[in-house]
Chain A
């Protein structure tokens, strides 16, 4: 059993402590917006926020995540409006297949929390998610759009 705080809610989940956080989120908490891509913290599709920091949830165990504030893509928007990154993604028509975009958006949201006006170099350093469709151009444009707003 583990107690996880996800998107402001407490979940008591029947999982082993070494279960990757990704699978506890997807299968036990039932929040499937966070995606499985590689399972080895390479692709970033499973990116969530742990106490505001972007982390690859496939590489973190449930026991490491206990007691931390976990935010998934489902918890990014406020009750009334989408998060500015989501809005920018819609405005710039960023996603293609969209499978990597939950993780991409979470990574970008964390970057913007830290650096509200990132340079291209900041983006290059912080955003290392894989997108096989190749949406990088729109991702970059959308980040700059938010930064210049």
Chain B
């Protein structure tokens, strides 16, 4: 049985909280003469730098600031620290600092946000340095005790050895002395070729409790005297709460209070959530829906289609040569219009947060992908200063980008603020979760390609029309109005760069922002850009009378890393050999989140409408692979998420609101529908790319291209259920 314990909700995990440290004299803070302060964890064990606590029994507690939500970063980040620390991996456990504690310590743990496949790649440098710093201090402490130079000491698996004399000690024995040393100003990180733990598919640190029911998710939080809240926000985005008839639910069992939440929502607070939800369902509510109630999927589609016209303004994201002129004079012209719908994250656990508000304190327990953003939401909603607030992260039942938002945190605080002293657990129903998403943005894309007389691609015009996430969520990140992430996967350069050389290229985005709130949804804009580009690339290859792989290869000479992953999947799936009888193949590649990925699918199609996916091969070059077992799971999981969206997803708008209400109308793939994903990892080193998201991009286009190979029919819109195509 594995010894690791899960990061549990523990309010006392860090005694050096904001208030105590700010007060100058803190429990657990030693101030020795002439030396730096020793910061202690709750059990009295000393910190060796902010990232590491060493207990007397040699247990090493590694602090993790980013959020675990299933993607495995908790384990990967611990591996990075432990690699440099040279500690005994079997004695590693992990702990979340709180955002309040981090802010009070000048953000010693850095950024908490866990999105954009950044968990590992954005913190790898400083967490490895955290491990290395602690190692140097621990060795120095042993050397000091032995009165020998530190250079004569080595360490392996938490055991320090003085090589000339053969004396040994352990981290646990020297931790107290090490904690009193000044951290070295500069530490050297290992050469990747010397890594022992990084690159190893060690087991996750948080599995056991997930198999016994013991893991505490946000929805499972229990506090003394806690009440439960169910909420309904205006189903028409932008609308307001007009009125509700509280008298009609007076006397319903368990109901304690009905509260207005901001201008847009109403919540029922009751002894149990079931009572709260039952009463809320019976509560007559009138909404001021406003003009947005006139919006429908059809009206949005019409508006977006207008944006595809050249006469409409658009931002240019990638350009060279003169695409329009080259198209006008080309031997052959290929044109197609694609579209991609809204998608709900549909995390298994609906949004929830538990808040306790008193006159001088506000604390929240919740699953979040961004502890600091949740913390900021608590400050704002409570009106209390930072030193009186905190957020305790618990395990989220899925994130996929949804829990990077803080709407549900704010709501919980707004309810709790109306019942001071009583902890309130706010849990959304699945229906509320479907109605109040931050949806994958909607778009259309018109592509025009030009082939010369020799069937070479000489021009490509890629015109997007659709919604910007940044416009809604981070307007300060727009660049003169342009949303740079709209071009993920087709960008000129950077972490989501286009992988083809086309002499005349124009990639542009007519930004049109419907009222439906958009959000970052696993893979974000790589999803539709990879479908548009990779399916159209297939159309171009077909028009040129060439093999889709060969056609791509000719355009990828200047993009060796893109090409390498494409070649890797082609080889693994056996592109050069015939597929089994009745089985057809599709292939796709894209770059996103700093990683190069490709995918290939083998499918068969019955009656043109029943698809069986027999095989999936996916390749990634993320630079470095910290934990291949977890990377393999992320690749496979991204295909389940991406293909669920392709086959079953799609949120539609009627009367200004989302029509899908639960998994019966927004289905998700089951085990019977999902083949094994064969992953091929080809880390080429020298850069750090993301893992959780990039491969989702190639899931849908690989299958769609295989569908064309099987049927000769192009599918240019998602989901397939709208075209009566489903799994066999």
Q: Is A98 engaged at the interface, CB distance under 8 Å to the other chain?
A: yes
- Residues from chain A with a CB closer than 8 A to the CB of B639 are 134
B485 CB, nearest partner CB in chain A, Å? 23
B207 touches A132 (CB 8 A): no
- Residues from chain A with a CB closer than 8 A to the CB of B664 are 40, 42
Interface size on A (CB < 8 Å)? 57
A23 touches B272 (CB 8 A): yes
A97 touches B397 (CB 8 A): yes
B640 CB, nearest partner CB in chain A, Å? 3
- B2, B210, B396, B669: which contacts A95 (Cβ < 8 A)? B210
A133 touches B349 (CB 8 A): no
Q: A93-B207, A99-B348 are in contact. Are A134 and B397 (CB under 8 A)?
A: no
Q: Which of B321-329, B489-497, B595-603, B672-680 contacts A (4 or more CB under 8 A)?
A: B672-680
Q: A27-B273, A38-B662, A74-B212 are in contact. Are A97 and B220 (CB under 8 A)?
A: no
Q: Which of B16-24, B64-72, B561-569 contacts A (4 or more CB under 8 A)?
A: B64-72
Q: Is A128 engaged at the interface, CB distance under 8 Å to the other chain?
A: yes
B633 touches A135 (CB 8 A): yes
- Residues from chain B with a CB closer than 8 A to the CB of A76 are 212
Please measure, in the bound complex, the distance between the C-alpha atom of A76 and the C-alpha atom of B72, giving whole angstroms.
26
A56 CB, nearest partner CB in chain B, Å? 12
Q: Is A69 engaged at the interface, CB distance under 8 Å to the other chain?
A: no
Q: A82-B212, A96-B633, A97-B396 are in contact. Are A40 and B662 (CB under 8 A)?
A: yes
- Residues from chain A with a CB closer than 8 A to the CB of B222 are 30, 32
Please measure, in the bound complex, the distance between the C-alpha atom of A33 and the C-alpha atom of B215, giving whole angstroms.
8
A35 touches B348 (CB 8 A): yes
Please measure, in the bound complex, the distance between the C-alpha atom of A102 and the C-alpha atom of B216, giving whole angstroms.
12
Q: A35-B397, A82-B212, A98-B210 are in contact. Are A90 and B2 (CB under 8 A)?
A: yes
B interface, over-half SS: loop
Central interface residue in A16, A34, A137, by most chain B CB within 10 Å: A137
Please measure, in the bound complex, the distance between the C-alpha atom of A133 and the C-alpha atom of B203, giving whole angstroms.
17
B274 CB, nearest partner CB in chain A, Å? 4
Interface residues of A in 84-108 (CB under 8 A from B): 86, 89-90, 93-102, 105
Q: Is B503 engaged at the interface, CB distance under 8 Å to the other chain?
A: no
Please measure, in the bound complex, the distance between the C-alpha atom of A130 and the C-alpha atom of B674, giving whole angstroms.
12
A97 touches B674 (CB 8 A): no
Q: A127-B671, A132-B346 are in contact. Are A37 and B430 (CB under 8 A)?
A: yes
Interface residues of B in 207-239 (CB under 8 A from A): 207-217, 219-220, 222, 228
Q: Is A43 engaged at the interface, CB distance under 8 Å to the other chain?
A: yes
A132 touches B668 (CB 8 A): yes
Please measure, in the bound complex, the distance between the C-alpha atom of A93 and the C-alpha atom of B74, giving whole angstroms.
14
Q: Is A17 engaged at the interface, CB distance under 8 Å to the other chain?
A: no
Q: Is A2 engaged at the interface, CB distance under 8 Å to the other chain?
A: no
Provide the B649-677 mask, 1 if CB < 8 A to any CB of A, else 0: 00000000000001110001111101011
- Residues from chain B with a CB closer than 8 A to the CB of A97 are 69-70, 347-349, 395-399
A137 touches B663 (CB 8 A): no
Q: Is B638 engaged at the interface, CB distance under 8 Å to the other chain?
A: yes
A84 CB, nearest partner CB in chain B, Å? 11
Q: Is A39 engaged at the interface, CB distance under 8 Å to the other chain?
A: yes
A132 touches B670 (CB 8 A): no
Please measure, in the bound complex, the distance between the C-alpha atom of A30 and the C-alpha atom of B204, giving whole angstroms.
28
A33 touches B663 (CB 8 A): no
Closest to B253 in A: A16
- A129, A130, A134: which contacts B637 (Cβ < 8 A)? A134
Please measure, in the bound complex, the distance between the C-alpha atom of A16 and the C-alpha atom of B349, giving whole angstroms.
25
- Residues from chain A with a CB closer than 8 A to the CB of B253 are 16
Closest to A34 in B: B213
- Residues from chain A with a CB closer than 8 A to the CB of B212 are 33, 73-74, 76-77, 82, 86
B348 touches A37 (CB 8 A): yes
- Residues from chain A with a CB closer than 8 A to the CB of B208 are 90
Q: Is A31 engaged at the interface, CB distance under 8 Å to the other chain?
A: yes
- Residues from chain A with a CB closer than 8 A to the CB of B502 are none
- Residues from chain A with a CB closer than 8 A to the CB of B207 are 89-90, 93-95, 98
**Total contacts A to B, CB within 8 angstroms?**
182
Q: A33-B212, A98-B210 are in contact. Are A40 and B663 (CB under 8 A)?
A: yes
Please measure, in the bound complex, the distance between the C-alpha atom of A83 and the C-alpha atom of B219, giving whole angstroms.
25
- Residues from chain B with a CB closer than 8 A to the CB of A50 are none
Q: Is A28 engaged at the interface, CB distance under 8 Å to the other chain?
A: yes
- Residues from chain A with a CB closer than 8 A to the CB of B51 are none
B633 touches A138 (CB 8 A): yes
- Residues from chain B with a CB closer than 8 A to the CB of A73 are 212-213
B640 touches A32 (CB 8 A): no
Please measure, in the bound complex, the distance between the C-alpha atom of A27 and the C-alpha atom of B672, giving whole angstroms.
33
A101 touches B210 (CB 8 A): yes
Interface residues of B in 338-370 (CB under 8 A from A): 346-350
Please measure, in the bound complex, the distance between the C-alpha atom of A126 and the C-alpha atom of B87, giving whole angstroms.
44
- Residues from chain A with a CB closer than 8 A to the CB of B429 are 39
B642 CB, nearest partner CB in chain A, Å? 9
Q: A20-B274, A86-B211, A134-B640 are in contact. Are A36 and B219 (CB under 8 A)?
A: yes
A98 touches B215 (CB 8 A): yes
B637 touches A133 (CB 8 A): yes
A27 touches B397 (CB 8 A): no
Please measure, in the bound complex, the distance between the C-alpha atom of A128 and the C-alpha atom of B670, giving whole angstroms.
6
Interface residues of A in 124-149 (CB under 8 A from B): 124-125, 127-140
Q: A90-B208, A93-B203, A98-B210 are in contact. Are A39 and B398 (CB under 8 A)?
A: no
A43 touches B663 (CB 8 A): yes
Closest to A24 in B: B274
Please measure, in the bound complex, the distance between the C-alpha atom of A123 and the C-alpha atom of B676, giving whole angstroms.
14
- Residues from chain B with a CB closer than 8 A to the CB of A138 are 633
- A72, A93, A130: which contacts B213 (Cβ < 8 A)? A72
Q: Is B629 engaged at the interface, CB distance under 8 Å to the other chain?
A: yes
A132 touches B347 (CB 8 A): yes
Please measure, in the bound complex, the distance between the C-alpha atom of A120 and the C-alpha atom of B210, giving whole angstroms.
24
Closest to B2 in A: A90
Please measure, in the bound complex, the distance between the C-alpha atom of A131 and the C-alpha atom of B639, giving whole angstroms.
12
Closest to A23 in B: B274
Interface residues of B in 611-637 (CB under 8 A from A): 629, 633, 636-637
A121 CB, nearest partner CB in chain B, Å? 9
A98 touches B70 (CB 8 A): yes
Please measure, in the bound complex, the distance between the C-alpha atom of A56 and the C-alpha atom of B556, giving whole angstroms.
51
Central interface residue in B273, B348, B398, B677, by most chain A CB within 10 Å: B348
Q: Is A19 engaged at the interface, CB distance under 8 Å to the other chain?
A: yes
Closest to B638 in A: A134
Q: A72-B213, A93-B204, A96-B72 are in contact. Are A125 and B663 (CB under 8 A)?
A: no
- Residues from chain A with a CB closer than 8 A to the CB of B96 are none
Subset of 9 A-B contacts with CB under 8 Å: A32-B216, A32-B219, A37-B430, A40-B662, A43-B348, A96-B637, A98-B207, A136-B670, A140-B671
Q: Which 6 A-B pairs have the closest CB atoms?
A: A33-B213, A134-B640, A99-B397, A97-B70, A98-B210, A134-B637
**Contact residues of A with B, CB < 8 Å?**
16, 19-20, 23, 27-28, 30-40, 42-43, 45, 72-74, 76-77, 82, 86, 89-90, 93-102, 105, 123-125, 127-140
